[in-house]
A and B are shown apart, each in its own frame.
Chain A
Amino acid sequence: MNCEIARRMTEANDPALAQHLRSCPSCIVGAHARYYEAPPALEQKIRASLRREAAPNIPWRWIAIAASILLGVSAAWNLTLLRSRAAPRQLLAENVLSAHLRSLNGTHLLDVPSTDRHTVKPWFAGKLDFSPPVKEVDGFPLLGGRIEYIEGHSAAALIYGRRAHIVNLFVWPSATSTPESSQTRNGYQMRTWSASGMTFWAVSDLNPTELGDFVSVYSRN
C-alpha cells in the first residue's frame, strides 16, 4: 500500500487507514505533515534580485582606474602650480627681466642721463627712501639712472654701457640676503647678489664672462 492510497483513505475517512498509518509512519508524514509553500512575495523578491545580479556589470574597475588617473593628473597639475607659486625667486627674475626689456623697448631708459655718479646719486634722493650705491665701473661707463617698480616696491636702476650693450643694475633694500647666483633667461644673462642690506640684479645681453667682470668690478669698488 503506498502513500497515495493512504491519502485517499484519509480523505474517505476509511477505518482501515488506522492500521496502515500505524505500520507506516512515512505515510503519516507524507499524508499529513504540513508542506509549506513559498509565499508569492518571496518568489517576486528572488526574481528581482536575480535580475539585478544578471544585469550587465557596471565596469567599476575601469571607472576606478580612470578616476585614479584623473586624480593623479590633477594632483600633479596642482603640484606644478604650487611649485611655480612656491618659486618667488623665479617670478622675481621674470619681473627683473621684464623691467630690463621694457627699458630697452621704449624711450624710457634713463630718467637722469648722466655719466657722473655725483649727479646720478643725488638725483635719487627724495625719490627713493634709500640711497643706492652708485659706482664707477671700469670698462662699463655709467649712462644714467631710472626709477623702477619691481614686485610692488621702488627700485633704483643704474644703467651702464659696454660697446653697444646695456647693463641694467637694479638695486633695492631687502631684509634677507640671498646667495649670489646667475642664470640665463630668454638669452639674457642675469646675476643677483646681496650686499649691505641691498639686493642687486644685473641684467644684460652681454656674454656671461663680461657680465661676471662687471659684477666683480662693481663689487670691488
Chain B
Amino acid sequence: MAQYVTMGAISLVRAPMAMDSARKLALFEQSVMPHLNAAYNLARWLTRSGPDAEDLVQEASLRAFRSFETFQGQDARAWLLAIVRNTCFTFLKKRGDQPAIEFDEQAHGVADESPDAESALLNQAALGSLNHCLEGLPLEYREAIVLRELEELSYKEISEIARVPVGTVMSRLARARRRLQQCLEGALR
C-alpha cells in the first residue's frame, strides 16, 4: 500500500515537467513552424543574404520557442515575424548597417509620369529588375513593403512589428512605392 502511494507521488512530481516540455514543443511546431517561409522571406529581404537569413531565422525560432509562454494565442505569424524582425535589426545594427531611412524626400518625392511608362512596365526586363529595386530600398521601407505586399499584413500589425505608429507605416509605404516606381522607370531608360 505504502509503495503505491510513494510511486504515485513520484509520478505526480515528474510527469507534468516531462509533459510540459513535450506539449510545448508539439504546440510550437503546430502553430509557429508553418510560418517558417514567412520568417525566412522577411529575413532574406532584410539582410539581402541567404546564409545570414538562415542563421537569423534559426536564432529567432529558438528565441520564439524560449518565450513561447508569452504567446497568448494572437496571430502566430505576426508574433514570429516580430521576433525575426528584431533579431535581424539587432544583427544588422551590430554589423554596422545604417538604417538609411532619412533621405532627400524632395528630390525623390514626385515621380515624373512619362507617357511610355505603361508599355515599359509590361517589359519583362523591367519586372525582372523589380527585385533589384526592392533590395535597393532603405531597410525600413523594405521592411514595410515586404510585410505589406508579400505578407499582406495590416497596417496595425506592421506598426506593432516595426514598433512605429500606424501613420509612420503608411508614410513609409507611400514613399517606398514611389521609390519603387522611380527605380523601375529608371531601369528602363
Contacts and interface: CB of A to CB of B under 8 A. Distances in A.
Contact of B28 (A18, A30, A50, A56): A50
A29 interface: yes
Given A34-B131, A37-B37, A56-B18, A29 B145 contact: yes
Interface residues of A, number: 31
Contacts of B54: 39, 42, 45
B36 interface: yes
A49 B58 contact: yes
B81 interface: no
Given A25-B181, A28-B180, A36 B40 contact: yes
B122 A17 contact: yes
Interface stretch (B61-69, B100-108, B158-166): B61-69
Interface string A41-76: 011011101110111100000000000000000000
Main SS at interface, chain A: helix
A33 interface: yes
B181 A54 contact: no
A33 B25 contact: no
Interface string B77-118: 000000000000000000000000000000000000000011
Interface of A: 15, 17-19, 21-22, 25-26, 28-30, 32-39, 42-43, 45-47, 49-51, 53-56
